[in-house]
Structure 1
Amino acid sequence: MSPPPGLYSGTSTLALVARASVLTFGVVYGNLKLKYLKVKANSLKKAEAKAHH
């Protein structure tokens, strides 16, 4: 069962949709990870500030 010709050529609709989906997922995942890391860093700073007082 081999894939139909042209599927991985980069010009078929399916290949373009797959690439766009992966790109979108990557961007969303990256943004969420950045937000999480920022929140984590902020909570660590707050904890350190409380510990010093």
Structure 2
Amino acid sequence: MAPPPGPYSGTSTLALVARASAFSFGLVYGSIKLKVLKAKAKSRAKAEAKAHH
């Protein structure tokens, strides 16, 4: 299978860089989202504990 003609014929450096940066952005975004969700869960647990006492 020959690569299609045009700017993205083969594996261009730009495509590889774009893919790598998108992947790393996804990792960073995911970890930040997890931290926020964990923090929210913690504060909610604290509020519930206070309400029960």
TM-score tier after normalising by the smaller chain length: 0.7 to 0.9
Structure 1 stretches of 4+ with a deviation exceeding 2 A read none
Q: Does 1:22 align with 2:26?
A: no
Paired-residue identity, % = 71
The alignment's C-alpha RMSD in Å is 1.7
Gaps of 5+ in 2: none
Structure 1: how far apart are the matches of 2:38 and 2:10?
37
Q: Judging changes above 3 Å, is the alpha-carbon distance between structure 1 residues 46 and 10 closer, same or farther for their aligned structure 2 residues?
A: farther
2:28 paired with 1:50? no
1:24, 1:32 → 2: CA distance? 12
Aligned residues: 49
C-alpha distance in 2 between matches for 1:22 and 1:10: 19
In 1, the alpha carbon distance for the partners of 2:28 and 2:10 equals 23
Structure 1: stretches of 5+ with no match in the other structure:
none
